[in-house]
Amino acid sequence: MRVGILTGGGDCPGLNAVIRAVVRKGIRDGHTVAGFRNGWAGVMEGHCFELDLENTSGILHRGGTMLGTSRTNPFRTDGGSGKVKAALEAEGVEALIPIGGEDTLGVAGRLWKEDGLPVVGVPKTIDNDLGCTDFTFGFQTAVQIVTDAIDRLHTTAESHNRVMVVEVMGRHAGWIAVHSGIAGGADAILVPERPFDVDEVCDRLRRRHETGRTFSIVVIAEGAMRQGGEGPSATEQVTDAFGHARLGGIGVELEHEIEDRTGFESRVTILGHVQRGGTPTAYDRVLATRFGVAAVDAVNDGAFGTMVALHATEIRQVPLEEALREPKLLDEALYETAEVFFG
């Protein structure tokens, strides 16, 4: 069979590990593999090349994606889904493996449902907010990067008696904020799932400083919102092809508000795309490899319209529709565990 593969949406450490796994397992099972460039944009343009053992060697540990990526949405492009079908037919692609998050896999789900396109999704996002899988690859690497940053911020916070506000990624969900906050010993963690009240945050910091502590670490997800507020802070009003605003800046607002209200000198660090760059952790390399192999198994089984997913220690096939129904939000119990260490 000729199998196509694409990477869409924001990049994520581990994408190359999935590509390598699909190619190695695919060739071993008698398939050929076509790599489409730049997500759905490359599929619509029929922009692809042959992936083989040679051009996918040496990429396991590399961040980014050798295929390139984009946030192009065929359903927002004139005749987009027709172009996808025509390009796959022209290339003789009989099965397509899109690697992506809610947007890229959302397109795959629609193409499967509306046009019967044979797709098997692989879940990717550093945000870890895709349904039906315990973890997405890339998340663990992002958490490690943030934790390393918090460790560094701790020593400078301590030296200057400052409040350090750390803004991390997480559009709908606070998984990165909570995991790295627990690992880094944060004194407050603000997430999209729990709108915050800045006065409460300041009270908590004051109480902590009254017990003799002279510095604090506050982790805030970019998608965090104020109680009664309208929505997360966006850097621009324009939205992407999937209707998402470019988030960012809530940390800057919080830094000023904390300093003004408490008088504690504060500084903000926005980690931004550093969280998505560089080499994947060993955990993410293994998970990405397992997902890639399992995606080819799903193609062999004819299990189209599914996504490979991690359930405890097993990789399973779940219906794409179910995985995409709603974002996977924070586990309440995990947040309560983090709270034990606040203030």
Q: Binders of ligand F6P among 213-252, rule CB under 6 A?
A: 222, 246-247
**Would you say 170 or 280 has its CB closer to ligand F6P?**
170
- Tokens representing 187? 């004194």
The catalytically annotated residue of 29, 78, 103, 127 is 127
Residue 221: CB minimum distance to ligand F6P, A: 8
In whole angstroms, give the CA distance from residue 253 to residue 13.
Answer: 29
**Would you say 125 or 141 has its CB closer to ligand F6P?**
125
The answer to whether the CB of 135 falls within 8 A of the CB of 122 is no
In whole angstroms, give the CA distance from residue 307 to residue 109.
Answer: 10
127 labelled catalytic: yes
- Tokens representing 301? 């089984």
Q: Label residue 231 left, alpha or beta by phi (over 0 means left) and psi (-120 to 50 means alpha).
A: left
**Which of 212, 121, 139, 222 lies closest to 175 in space, CA to CA?**
139
127 binds ligand F6P (CB under 6 A): yes
* CB-CB neighbours of 180 under 10 Å: 25
Residue 229: CB minimum distance to ligand F6P, A: 18
In whole angstroms, give the CA distance from residue 172 to residue 175.
Answer: 9
Residue from 7, 16, 125, 281 binding ligand F6P (CB under 6 A): 125
Helix (H) or strand (E) holding 71: none
202 binds ligand F6P (CB under 6 A): no
- Of all residues in the shown chain, the one whose CB is closest to ligand F6P is 169
**Which of 315, 324, 287 lies closest to 18 in space, CA to CA?**
287
**Would you say 163 or 220 has its CB closer to ligand F6P?**
220
**Would you say 8 or 74 has its CB closer to ligand F6P?**
8
Residue 263: CB minimum distance to ligand F6P, A: 32
Q: Which among 73-81, 82-90, 91-99, 123-131 is the span making contact with ligand F6P, rule CB under 6 A? A: 123-131
Q: Binders of ligand F6P among 10-29, rule CB under 6 A?
A: 10
**Would you say 26 or 63 has its CB closer to ligand F6P?**
63
**Would you say 13 or 101 has its CB closer to ligand F6P?**
101
**Which of 175, 202, 176 lies closest to 188 in space, CA to CA?**
202
Task: Give the total of residues touching ligand F6P (CB under 6 A).
Answer: 12
- Tokens representing 232? 């997360």
Residue 132: CB minimum distance to ligand F6P, A: 17
Residue from 101, 109, 192, 232 binding ligand F6P (CB under 6 A): 101
Residue 282's contacts (CB-CB under 8 Å, 6 or more residues apart) are none
Residue 235's contacts (CB-CB under 8 Å, 6 or more residues apart) are 246, 247, 248, 249
Q: Binders of ligand F6P among 157-176, rule CB under 6 A?
A: 169-171
Q: Binders of ligand F6P among 281-340, rule CB under 6 A?
A: none
How distant, in Å, are the alpha carbons of 4, 154, 274 from that of 164? 46, 8, 18
Q: Which among 72-80, 125-133, 191-199, 253-261 is the span making contact with ligand F6P, rule CB under 6 A? A: 125-133
Q: Which residues are catalytic?
A: 127
Q: Which residues bind ligand F6P (CB under 6 A)?
A: 10, 101, 125-127, 169-171, 222, 246-247, 276
